[in-house]
Amino acid sequence: MSWKALPPDRSAAGPWNAASTRSAASAAATTSFEVQTIDHVYDPDVAAAFGLHTGQVCVMIHCGSRGLGHQVCTDHVRTMEQAMHRYRISVPDRQLACTPVDSPPGRDYLGAMAAAANYARANRQLLSEAARRAFVTAAGAGLELVYDISHNTAKLETHEVDGVERLLCVHRKGATRALPPGDPSLPTDLTDAGQPVLVPGTMGTASYVMVGLPGNDAFHSACHGAGRVWSRHHALKMVRGERLRDRLEASGIAVRPSSWRGLAEEAPEAYKDVDAVAAVTEGAGLARLVARLVPLGVVKG
Catalytic residues: 224
List Cβ neighbours of 292 (8 Å cut-off, separation of 6 or more): 38, 39, 40, 41, 42, 206, 207, 208, 209
- Residue 58: φ, ψ to 5°: -130, 160
14 is in an annotated binding site: no
Rounded to a whole number of angstroms, the distance between the first and last alpha carbons of the chain is 14
State how far the Cα of 100 lies from the Cα of 87, in Å rounded to an integer: 8
Q: Indicate the SS3 state at residue 235.
A: helix
225 is in an annotated binding site: yes
- List the alpha helices (DSSP H) in 204-293: 232-238, 241-250, 260-265, 274-283
Q: At what angle do helices 68-83 and 104-139 cross, to 10 degrees?
A: 170
State how far the Cα of 60 lies from the Cα of 66, in Å rounded to an integer: 18
State how far the Cα of 201 lies from the Cα of 207, in Å rounded to an integer: 5
203 is in an annotated binding site: yes
State how far the Cα of 220 lies from the Cα of 213, in Å rounded to an integer: 8
Q: Indicate the SS3 state at residue 35.
A: strand
226 is in an annotated binding site: yes
207 is in an annotated binding site: yes
17 is in an annotated binding site: no
151 is in an annotated binding site: yes
* Number of residues assigned to the chain: 301
202 is in an annotated binding site: yes
224 is in an annotated binding site: yes
62 is in an annotated binding site: yes
Known binding-site positions for Mn(2+): 62, 151
Annotated binding site for GMP, which residues? 151-152, 200-203, 207, 224-227, 300
Residue positions forming the annotated binding site: 62, 151-152, 200-203, 207, 224-227, 300
